[in-house]
Amino acid sequence: MRFVMTLRGRSWLLLFLSIVGVSLTARLGVWQLDRAAQKVALQQAVERQGELPPLEGTALSTESLASSAAGQAQLHRRVRLMGRWLPDKTVFLDNRPMQGRAGFFVVTPLLLEGRPEAILVQRAWVPRNMADRSALPALPTVAGVVTVEGRLAASPSRLYEFSPAHSGVIRQNLEAAAYAQEIKQGLLPLTVIQTGGAPADDLLRDWPAPDLGLQKHYGYAFQWFALSALILGLYVWFQFLRPARRAA
């Protein structure tokens, strides 16, 4: 009798643990699908922003993204700006490959027409001199007023760095607020990812599409659902199918 009660208690415990395991892993799978749906909604919002008419320089917000709804509303908008390059303030962002080649993203402030502020422009990609890392290519920079077309981003393309380099022409990342203090020039909080403009140049601007990580979320969801199915399958096998085969 005691042995029978022990078997029943063990069966109820296995049932409870299986229900918990299946419920937890299935919920985690649903959570990953929810995260993917949020990323899809974000991408759709970005695309809607890109369909709006381009902004002029006088319409750009001076408030930070963290504290300004106006700045957030302008993020990902197309722009058509007129201004003058500040070529002596150009920065080369290191470790930015393009089309399988090592190189830099070139970031130059553009002093806007009709405004005292400038805005950082991620102008183009240039290859690295593999024989001399410190050798940087000459850039075609017009001295007069130019027109820059592009889209607004929160900051120039960022990479993880262990020890930030806060000075020098070659850097890993660049923050507008800190760089404005360094060069003693007001900078708007947003950045322009240049796609075109006049006069035309031969610089490469094959910018990669933003990676939302959708495949990662779908992959994690598949793994959680597979684990949920495995737990359920093992419970059914050991509690029902295997004993039935032995009895037969």
Kindly give the confidence (pLDDT) of every residue in the chain, 248 residues in length, as a single tens digit, with 9 standing for 90 and above: 554 447 677 888 888 999 999 999 999 999 999 999 998 888 888 888 888 999 999 899 887 665 567 778 898 899 999 999 999 999 999 999 998 899 999 999 999 999 999 999 999 999 998 888 788 888 887 889 999 999 999 888 878 766 555 678 999 999 999 999 999 999 999 999 999 987 878 889 988 776 677 889 999 999 999 999 999 999 999 888 888 788 76
- H/E stretch holding 246 reads helix 242-247
Tokens of 74: 């302008």
Give the model's pLDDT for residue 156: 87
pTM: 0.79
Cα distances from 150 to residues 15, 89, 205, in angstroms, run 59, 20, 11
Give the model's pLDDT for residue 233: 94
Is 211 strand, coil or helix?
A: coil
Give the model's pLDDT for residue 209: 72
Separation CA 161–CA 175 (nearest Å): 13
Give the model's pLDDT for residue 180: 94
Tokens of 225: 């659902």
Comparing CA positions, the residue from 200, 217, 175 lying closest to residue 29 is: 217
Give the model's pLDDT for residue 173: 92
Contact 186, 112 (CB under 8 A): no
Cα distances from 123 to residues 10, 11, 19, 132, in angstroms, run 67, 67, 56, 23
Comparing CA positions, the residue from 181, 202, 187, 46 lying closest to residue 124 is: 202
